[in-house]
Amino acid sequence: MSAIFISSKVTKLAAVMLITFSLGACSKNAADENGGLGGAGLNGGVNGAGSQSPGSIGDFTVNVGDRVLFETDSSELTTVGQSTLDKQAQWLNRYPKYNFTVEGNADERGTREYNFALGARRSETAKNYLIARGVSASRIRTISYGKERPVAVCDNISCWSQNRRAVTVLGGAGS
By CB under 8 A, residue 3 contacts other proteins = yes
Distance CA 164, CA 162 (A): 6
Angle between helices 79-94 and 112-132 in degrees, nearest 10: 60
Minimum CB separation of residue 164 from other proteins in Å reads 15
Strands 67-69 and 165-170 turn out to be antiparallel
Can residue 133 be called a binding residue for other proteins (CB under 8 A)? Answer: no
DSSP annotation of 138:
G
Q: Binding mask 35-64 vs other proteins (x if CB under 8 A, - otherwise)? A: --x--x------------------------
Instruction: Identify the residue among 10, 49, 94, 158 touching other proteins (CB under 8 A).
Output: 10
Residue 14 is a binding residue for other proteins (CB under 8 A): yes
Among 27, 79, 138, 158, binds other proteins (CB under 8 A): 27
What are phi and psi for residue 8, nearest 5 degrees? -105, 135
Among 139, 149, 164, 165, binds other proteins (CB under 8 A): 149
Distance (Å, rounded) from C-alpha 168 to C-alpha 141? 10
Tell me which of 46, 50, 114, 132 binds other proteins, using CB under 8 A.
Answer: 114
The maximal CA–CA distance of the chain, rounded, in angstroms, is 93
Give, as ranges, the residues between 88 and 107 that touch other proteins (CB under 8 A): none
Amino acid making up residue 27: S
Q: Does 11 bind other proteins (CB under 8 A)?
A: yes
Upper half-sphere CA count for residue 64 (Cβ side, 13 Å): 27
Residues that bind other proteins (CB under 8 A): 1-24, 26-32, 37, 40, 73, 75, 108-114, 116-118, 120-121, 124-125, 143-146, 148-153, 155, 173
